């Protein structure tokens, strides 16, 4: 039987119905939205540049030996700068996985640091690694904590907040601050943009469907705008590369400049500040990239480029109301949360990881089937019990089987498991997506398989992993020392050494 739906990677997934025929303005971020950077090449580039910056700040030259491992980091982790731990948490701050360097802490170790396995989202202590740009630093945090914790020259403090070398104390918070500063420096002043532009084919994906996607949206009667934090010169080089095809918006149309696909273009937006007080709105001289003097007050003109501004001024100038706008981006905080909560824009989150998530789901479907069977077996053990029953059924074998199957499922996604789940529990990232009611495609061109001018209905599919929605939560505490995982991704027994870790 032929499916009426496009292949899963080309679908749009929603958790709330959306009437696209009511959308009058489509807004787009550039980085990781219109411009999709190649993974892991781009993360490797950023990782190497940040390492070099840290060495220039006085960090040991040995850190140059770190090699980026794309199987380790996942978006949505919290970095606890007090103890130097990477945390995978649920939507409420309950800790699902705790990693110190590359050691996955056992249940009792987590409880020693975090009573009730809970941590409040405190911005003075916790940094949320929510974006694709955060992947290199996520792995670098793990590398540095592992390096200083296990180096014979450094001794970890009794309070576990850092390491000491002679009279020198290096807190995990200072390491965090150094890495964050190095990342910002590389993005603003360093060679990341320069090296990207020098080898666009190496770092940027190119898709001939992109001009056609934007043209189809405009044909529906909507207006399009580009709203990016990147500067004009970088934006122009990237966008020129992305639209460098013989055809235009249709296969039989000639090529045209990328700016003609948008009604309004804003660079240097400084999101999320743009959605609050904003900055001065200025016009850009496209021949030099320089900003013109004074604040732009008049109507926004087609084929012109503007810098900065605020959402309040911008929406007035284009004549938009909150729910008239659908903004498409990859940054769940800077693009999605702020635009939706502060300005009421509809939001559309790009999730490139969906391709891998769907691949694992289909490739490991036998594991989902096993979970469903185990769920039925567990129900059968309880179905004949009532309130007068004094003996509880022996569910140890079923419990162990559920835990083992769930562990195999997690490892199929990578060292930190799925972006959306840990075991059967939803992650902090998944909770944000559900709260915001945001449609998610794996990439912008993948939306070509969907009609962009009609309603996108919400239908709740059965999620195979949800069939054990309470089991591993109930059993994880008792059994956490029986199942481990290491940086190499292999399951180990309880006595296989200090590198083993809780699944």
Gap between the Cα atoms of 448 and 36, Å rounded: 16
DSSP 8-state symbol, 495: T
Under a CB-based contact definition with an 8 Å cutoff, are residues 267 and 305 in contact? yes
Under a CB-based contact definition with an 8 Å cutoff, are residues 298 and 238 in contact? no
Gap between the Cα atoms of 502 and 500, Å rounded: 7
DSSP 8-state symbol, 242: H
Gap between the Cα atoms of 231 and 267, Å rounded: 6
The response to whether 394 counts as a known ligand-binding position is: no
- Residue 9's CB: how many other CB atoms inside 10 A? 17
| 3-class secondary structure, 426 | strand
User: Rounded to 5 degrees, what angle do the CA atoms 458, 9, 12 make?
Assistant: 25
- Cis bond leading into 484, ω under 30°? no
Length of the chain: 503
Select from 79, 78, 84 the least CA-distant residue to 101: 84
User: What are the Cα distances from residue 337, in Å, to 51, 59, 91, 158?
Assistant: 31, 36, 15, 39
> Which residues on adjacent β-strands are paired with residue 247?
254
Catalytic residues: 29, 31
The response to whether 29 counts as a known ligand-binding position is: yes
Under a CB-based contact definition with an 8 Å cutoff, are residues 314 and 276 in contact? no
Select from 60, 33, 61, 31 the least CA-distant residue to 46: 31
Q: Count the alpha carbons within 13 Å of 247 in the hemisphere toward its beta carbon.
A: 13
Residue in the structure block whose two tokens are 């012109």: 304
Helix axes 396-413, 471-479, angle to 10 degrees: 100
The response to whether 477 counts as a known ligand-binding position is: no
Gap between the Cα atoms of 183 and 85, Å rounded: 19
Instruction: Measure the N-to-C terminal CA separation of the chain; round to a whole number of Å.
Output: 39
> Which residues on adjacent β-strands are paired with residue 307?
267, 282
Under a CB-based contact definition with an 8 Å cutoff, are residues 441 and 354 in contact? yes
Select from 173, 169, 153 the least CA-distant residue to 82: 173
Structure-token pair, residue 207: 């898709």
Strand 484-485 and strand 25-28: pairing? unpaired
Question: Which segments are annotated as binding site for GMP?
Answer: 31
Question: Which segments are annotated as binding site for Mg(2+)?
Answer: 29, 330
Question: Which segments are annotated as binding site?
Answer: 29, 31, 330
């Amino acid at each position: 039987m032929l499916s009426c739906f496009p292949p899963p990677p080309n679908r749009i997934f929603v958790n709330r119905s959306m009437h696209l025929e009511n959308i009058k303005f489509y807004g787009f971020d550039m980085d990781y939205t219109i411009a999709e950077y190649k993974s892991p090449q781009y993360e490797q580039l950023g990782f190497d540049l940040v390492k070099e910056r840290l060495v220039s700040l006085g960090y040991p030259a040995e850190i140059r030996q770190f090699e980026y491992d794309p199987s380790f980091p996942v978006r949505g982790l919290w970095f606890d700068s007090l103890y130097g731990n990477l945390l995978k948490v649920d939507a409420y701050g309950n800790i699902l996985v705790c990693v110190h360097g590359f050691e996955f802490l056992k249940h009792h170790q987590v409880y020693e640091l975090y009573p009730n396995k809970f941590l409040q989202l405190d911005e003075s202590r916790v940094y949320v690694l929510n974006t694709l740009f955060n992947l290199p630093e996520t792995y670098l945090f793990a590398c540095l904590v592992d390096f200083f914790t296990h180096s014979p020259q450094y001794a970890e403090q009794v309070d576990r907040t850092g390491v000491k070398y002679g009279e020198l104390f290096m807190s995990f918070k200072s390491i965090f601050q150094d890495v964050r500063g190095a990342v910002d420096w590389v993005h603003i002043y360093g060679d990341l943009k320069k090296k990207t532009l020098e080898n666009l084919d190496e770092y940027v994906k190119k898709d001939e469907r992109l001009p056609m996607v934007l043209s189809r949206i405009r044909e529906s009667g909507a207006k399009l705008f580009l709203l990016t934090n990147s500067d004009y010169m970088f934006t122009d080089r990237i966008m020129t590369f992305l639209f460098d095809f013989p055809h235009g918006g249709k296969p039989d149309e000639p090529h045209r400049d990328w700016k003609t696909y948008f009604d309004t273009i804003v660079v240097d937006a400084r999101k999320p500040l743009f959605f609050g007080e904003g900055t001065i709105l200025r016009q850009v001289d496209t021949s030099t990239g320089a900003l013109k003097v004074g604040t732009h007050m008049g109507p926004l003109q087609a084929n012109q480029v503007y810098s900065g501004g605020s959402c309040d001024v911008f929406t007035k100038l284009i004549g938009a109301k909150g729910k008239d706008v659908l903004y498409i981006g990859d940054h769940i905080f800077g693009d999605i949360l702020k635009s939706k909560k502060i300005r009421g824009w509809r939001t559309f989150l790009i999730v490139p990881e969906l391709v891998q998530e769907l691949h694992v789901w289909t490739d490991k479907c036998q594991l989902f089937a096993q979970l469903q069977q185990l769920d039925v077996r567990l129900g059968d053990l309880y179905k004949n019990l009532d309130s007068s029953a004094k003996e509880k059924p022996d569910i140890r074998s079923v419990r162990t089987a559920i835990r083992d199957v769930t562990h195999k499922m997690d490892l199929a996604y990578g060292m930190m498991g799925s972006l959306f789940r840990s075991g059967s529990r939803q992650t902090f990232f998944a909770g944000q997506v559900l709260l915001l009611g945001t449609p998610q495609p794996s990439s912008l061109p993948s939306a070509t398989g969907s009609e962009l001018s009609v309603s996108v209905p919400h239908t709740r599919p059965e999620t195979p992993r949800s069939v054990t929605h309470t089991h591993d939560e109930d059993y994880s505490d008792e059994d956490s020392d029986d199942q481990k995982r290491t940086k190499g991704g292999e399951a180990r027994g309880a006595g296989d050494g200090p590198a083993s870790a809780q699944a």
